[in-house]
Structure 1
Amino acid sequence: MLWSSLLLLLAQNAAAWHSNDDLMSFKTLPDARAIKFDIQYEDRDRLTPGYWFVSPYLHISPDDPTSIYEQYQTGPHIYDQDGRLVWTGAPMFDNRNVFDFKTVTLFNETYISLILQYSHDGSEHGWGVIMDKNYEIYRKIPVREDLGWFDIHEFNVLDNGNTALVTNYLYEEITLEAFNRPDEKTFLEYGGFAEIDINTNEVLYHWNSFNEIPVTESVHYTKYSAVEGAPGWDYVHINSADKNENGDYLISMRFTNTIYLISGQTGTIMWRLGGQGHSDFQQDFVFSKQHDAKFIESHGTHHIISILNNASDEEFAEEEISSALIIELETGTTPMTARVLKRYNRPGGDLTRLRGNAQQLPNENMFVCWSQGGFISEHAPDGQVLMTASFTTPRFSNYRAYKYEFTGRPSTPPDLVASVYGSDETNLITNIYVSWNGATDVAMWKFYAQASEFDHPVFIGEIAKHDFETMFIAHGFMDWVSVEAVHENGEVLGTSIVHRTEAPDWKNVGYHGYVGLPRPQDPSTLSKPQADGEAADSIGDSSKASSGADTGEAEVRKATSMLNKTYETMRSIGGLFGMILLLAVMAGIMASYLLIRGWRVQLYHRLPTGDDMPEVEYHPRSD
């Protein structure tokens, strides 16, 4: 009994682990699924405007392809502050892992940059990718072959888009003389960085830790560590690189607990911050296993930097809580000094043992990615937690997350699908779904239909955009449909291609219309479309799709159909009673038809007027 209960519990957990409830799905983008967020707002009014740039992944290494169909889920994604999807790049990058996804400045314009990880089979060594606001690739930057594969940690575009910093890993075999083991050898994986010309792919500067940082500075390996084959001991583990106006480089080495400043002129280490007994600073704080060391300011001997202090790794914890730190450094004093200006503790008091980053926003809010589960938070300058969010599933993680204001204008048209449903002529509806992957400033969708492929589009309704995908319902059978994406100022941003509406197998869905199968309607005969407010109340309900005449004729058809059915029934009943009942039904139908015809005639009639007065039209009140 105990074993069966445990097996049932494991099965339930496995089902929850692979549940689709944590993923969005879309009619207009059926091959893509986007991860849902759980969001908690503490003070929404103090949040910085902007979009979240995240790149979820299942495993940090590339997954092998599978023959099982599965919609695209991993890769670069943009969300708004309500967790609504704005853009998914998963299909564009074939569901491959993407890292360091953010906006950058090139030629004083905003672009997007990312790292496309090496392929699962090693046939591609990875790229730094730059895209424009239309989500079209502007540059793909490789690393020089002798520098290994494109590392996932850093793609830092500098100098208004002329150069970029990347990290890299190489390895060599060394003896362990530094640990008094001269007869033993191990492979050593050392970390470095390179500055690359974005236009020519030329390596302008390269530095690595081999012969610069001794193996004894590592906190990950000791004199008791076992030797390893290639690639060997990852003794420093570089995970970020930045550059100041003086041309010097700030790098973070996770497995030495140290941040280094490297001279851009000589390649020598100018100073060390942190580490086990190696710091060149007098400091009243500690940090360890840190990530994402970046300059906020750097002027002469005065520097302000930000880091994510993980304070732990997979094995050990030096502190009880991870934090984002803003640190002030004075290098013109003796001794040099370092002090924490601001500390932002991880909400919930937990540790981020792997990965993550910290980004100071333009209004000095701090946006932090705590990595596992996609956990992010935004903090006010005074430290108050303003917002926390995480993926609704623990299956996915996110290495770094950023927040930016951004305008996306896709070069592709909006996506549109439409289908018609109904059981007879009186209740046909056309469901229209629309989205525009990556468009950030669509305020309104305007819908059009046309009688044929060659007729002019007729406006049938509009609805405000509230989510990635919008549903609109038009009464009647609209066969050729299209949509316009409209800015809040009225500018048309884009127009879809004209789509034919998909019809079901009418017989199998129980359609019982009067004559044959439903025929598409001419939208030019429709009454005036509803206002946006009315449409929104009915999930995009459009105008009345049938005129009074169409409605009357449909009702007559429906009544005639009832008559035919009644006649068949009477045949089975027979006799005088059946004949009387049949005559009564016929009389009712004729009365209904005359009433409908009379109502139609009374819609408009002209009143006689004097010769010296203009003609007017009289509209009888319907209330």
Structure 2
Amino acid sequence: MHSRWLAALFVQTLGQASLSTASPSSSSSISTAPFQGTPDDAFWYDWGWYGFRPLQHFQSFGASPSRPYLLQHDPRCSAKKDDKDTSEGDDLIFVAPRGLSVSTPAPTIYDTRGNLVWMDTQWGQAMGVTVQQYRGEDFLTFWHGTDNGTFGEGMYYMLNSSYDVVHTVRPAPMHPGEEALLGDLHDFVITDEGTALMTLYQKRRHDLTAGFGIKDGWIFDSLFQEIDIATGKLLFSWRASDHFPIHDTLAPLKWGFGRRSDKAFDFFHINSLDKTPTGDYLVSSRYMCAVACISGSTGAVLWQLGGRHNSFVDASDGQATNIHWQHHAVWHEDMQELTLFDNGAYDKLVTASHSRGLRIRLTGIGGDDDDDDAQPTAELVQEYVSPDSLLAPSQGSVQILEDTNTVLVGWGHVPAYTEFAADDGTALCDVHLCPLGFSTFGWCKNYRAFKHRWVGRPATLPSAAMRPAEQAVYVSWNGATEVRHWQLEIATTSTKGATYVKHGEPVEKDGFEARISVPAEAKSVRIAALDRTGRVLAYSAAMSTSKKTAVKTMYSPPPKETLHQVLFRFAAFITLGVVGALVLVYLIVRYRVVLLSHVRRIASAAGMAVISVAARVLPRRNYRYEALPTTTSAMAEIGSGRLGGGGSSPEDSREV
């Protein structure tokens, strides 16, 4: 597998253009349809044969969304009788791919067959794209801001059916006169009471002596607020460090963290919120590996599922309470069930072989059917595991879909989503948003995946692009969900005020963009968008059949860095290394005689240097010489003159 990955990486680094096996049809432009095939066929897609992020390209629309791969598509995933019928806005998938390979991230809507419905690149990175109700009206909501890798700093947007921003929601100041924090990316929940729940992070000093031995430490504290959307008034706020000991965390305190402001310790990591009918709050703490119920009146912890202080007896041999590094905990009051995404991994800490979506039934927590004296019990109702046994080290979501009795699981860091039969966990529909072979690097990921009914009525007009060389016109309408057919209308003159008449039968809308042939006699054309009753929803602008229509590229914030830049640097580094090694080998071979002649001299000099250093470093021994003997036989012979040449005459002898 590693060799296959390296081969794919090598091909992509050299700049291989994305390929396409999709054949053009009479009504769709080339390279717009999603890939579809068996899991075995997906190998080439997942390992980069079509690019690190294959794209859908259009003639009439100035943006290119991810081109997904459909591994499975079961009719049971659809609430509609006709799987091709998207005119009612049912069964739409809400995602927001982002990462190094996503040069134009955007909140995006697909249909269940992987066709684009809407995207808007002006926002750039968005998180938690979903549909929520406020005062009886559906809104498209998401977070937009700056993601620092741990949490986000931004605000929350609410778009109406025309994709206009109606509400911009921000956190409220924690105290009067205090500056408000920025909204975190992890969750934004609109309640039935017209209030909003939002997660927050705040850096602050904290005593970390217990468990870590740091007296004057720093933490990233996890908070949440409930505010009134209409007035912005703060209704409730909560802080994790007031109720959870820091040392209860299961996240490791990495070297240097907790000691300085720039390395504050994220001990709790709040990543989802929900509110129960009783007015209490459900909080997911990734680093406590626990889901906690928080009192809506006092902020006290009422019970905790998982973690060091689990409150429940596990009726499923540990499968209901052994959650680790989880995301997206949601309470379902009618079933007394909790759904969550159990990652089973965090960074290099892997505690499971695969991630799983969970439905857990909780009893003994004070519900109407509970015995107040009963021991709280957690029971695993069903788990949902990817057909590929995917392990997502971060992010992820679980959504129960009552209309189809299915469960949608988004795999977060791994850019894919799977829809399961709710009762037995059978995988029905499985989609890869980007190639999964490179998911370890996080080059393309999707925080959460949701499925909703959404009726889009954009304030814009249908976009049409004339292609004289093809004698055809392409048409699309970004975000419109009620279009059933396209009707070509022609005029035999191109003058202003020309009369347009219908030409041919309406073309069924099958996908995001349609291609319609234009007759030779037409001098000017326009396209009418028709709903299911044949009523005209809107007309495109009129265009001459002799001129190619220029389609403006949709604005997108420039990325700080692209994957191509990173791969270019990587390739340049490898190339320089290889060239340097070859040059070194050449020099050694070319001048080997000279080098060998100097080896002995170099080795001798090196040895002497080592000895010199050792002589200076090692301790020296001071030797004492013994006194010479006063008389020896040799000295006696010299004194008597028997050794010759050195004797003295008696008269020269003097007493010393």
TM-score by length of 2: 0.68
Deviation at 1:180? 6.5
- How far 1:479 sits from its partner (Å)? 3.1
- Out of 436-445 and 313-322, give the one that drifted further: 313-322
Report the TM-score, using the length of structure 1 for normalisation. Answer: 0.71
Map 1:318-329 → 2, pairs under 5 A = 318-329=351-362
Q: Which amino acid aligns with 2:11?
A: Q
The match for 1:188 is: 219
Of 331, 335, 359, 2:375 maps to 335
**Alignment of 1:497 onto 2:545:** no
Q: Is it true that 1:308 corresponds to 2:376 in the alignment? A: no
Counterpart in the other structure of 2:630: none
Residue of structure 2 equivalent to 1:550: none
**For structure 1, which runs of at least 5 residues remain unmatched after alignment?**
1-5, 64-70, 422-428, 506-623
Instruction: Give 1 or 2: higher strand fraction.
Output: 1
Aligned to 2:453: 405
Tell me, in whole angstroms, the C-alpha distance in 2 between the residues paired with 1:80 and 1:448.
28
Q: Does structure 1 residue 386 correspond to structure 2 residue 386?
A: no
Amino acid in the other structure paired with 2:418: S
Distance 1:10 1:346, change over 3 A: closer
Tell me if structure 2 keeps the 8 A contact 1:48–1:365.
no
Q: Aligned-pair distance for 1:256?
A: 0.4
Deviation track 1:141-198 (CA, whole Å, cap 9, x = no partner) reads: 12235452211100111126x111110001211232212626x432111101111211
Residue type of the alignment partner of 1:407: V
Amino acid at match of 1:409: R
- 1:560 aligns to what? none
CA shift, 1:9, in A, is 7.3
Q: Tell me the distance in 1 between the aligned counterparts of 2:143 and 2:384.
A: 28
2:12 maps to a residue whose letter is N
Q: Deviations over 1:187-245 (max 9, x none)?
A: 11110111121112222111111221111110013598754422500001000000011
CA deviations over 1:347-392 (Å, ceiling 9, x no partner): 2223111100000112331100002342100000221110111124
Q: CA RMSD in A?
A: 2.7
Whole-Å separation in 2 of the counterparts to 1:129 and 1:496 = 29
Report how far residue 495 of structure 1 moved: 1.5
Aligned residue number for residue 274 of structure 1: 306
Q: CA deviation at 1:440?
A: 1.3
Distance 1:20 1:486, change over 3 A: farther
Pairs aligned (count): 471
Q: Secondary structure at the match of 2:121?
A: coil
In 1, Cα distance between the equivalents of 2:447 and 2:307? 24
User: 1:339-378 residue pairs with structure 2 within 5 A?
Assistant: 339-362=379-402, 363-378=404-419
Q: CA deviation at 1:48?
A: 4.4
What one-letter code is carried by the residue in structure 1 that aligns with 2:497? F
Q: Does 1:456 align with 2:499?
A: yes
Q: Tell me how far apart the structure 2 counterparts of residues 478 and 415 of structure 1 sit (CA, whole Å).
A: 19
d(CA) in 2 for partners of 1:247, 1:336 = 20
Give the letter aligned to residue 304 of structure 2. Answer: R
Supply the distance in 1 between the matched residues of 2:288 and 2:147 (Cα, whole angstroms): 30
Alignment of 1:240-319 (within 5 A): 240-276=272-308, 278-283=309-314, 284-285=318-319, 286-297=322-333, 303-319=336-352
SS at match of 1:417: strand
CA deviation map 1:109-164 (0-9, x unaligned) = 322111112389xxx9522111111111111112235452211100111126x111
Tell me which residue corresponds to 2:516: 472
2:206 to 167, 174, 182: 174
Q: Decide which moves more: 281-290 or 171-180.
A: 171-180
CA distance in 1, matches of 2:115, 2:347: 33
Distance 1:482 1:20 in 2: 37
User: The residue matched to 2:471 in structure 1 has which SS?
Assistant: strand
Counterpart of 2:165? 137
Structure 1 segment 503-514 matched on structure 2, within 5 A: 503=547
For 1:359 and 1:308, how far apart are their aligned partners in 2?
A: 10
Residue of structure 1 aligned with 2:72, choices 15, 36, 41: 41
Q: Give the share of equivalent positions with the same residue, in percent.
A: 26
User: Which one-letter code corresponds to 1:439 in the other structure?
Assistant: A
Aligned counterparts of 2:147 and 2:286: Cα–Cα separation in 1: 25
Cα distance between partner residues in 2 of 1:400 and 1:444:
32
Shift of 1:335: 2.1
The one of 102, 114, 124 aligned to 2:142: 114
Deviation for aligned residue 1:502: 4.7
Secondary structure in 1 matching 2:242: coil
1:486 match:
530
Cα 1:477/1:345, change in 2 over 3 Å: same
Amino acid aligned to 1:334: A
Contact 1:449 1:482 in 2 (8 A): yes
Higher relative contact order (CA 8 A, sep 6+): 2
Structure number with larger C-alpha Rg: 2
1:415 aligns with 2:463: yes
- Comparing 340-349 with 262-271, greater Cα deviation is found at 340-349
Amino acid of the structure 2 residue aligned with 1:169:
Y
SS for the counterpart of 2:291 is strand
Q: Deviations over 1:253-304 (max 9, x none)?
A: 000011111111111111111102x111111321110100011116xxx831
| Amino acid across the alignment from 1:257 | C
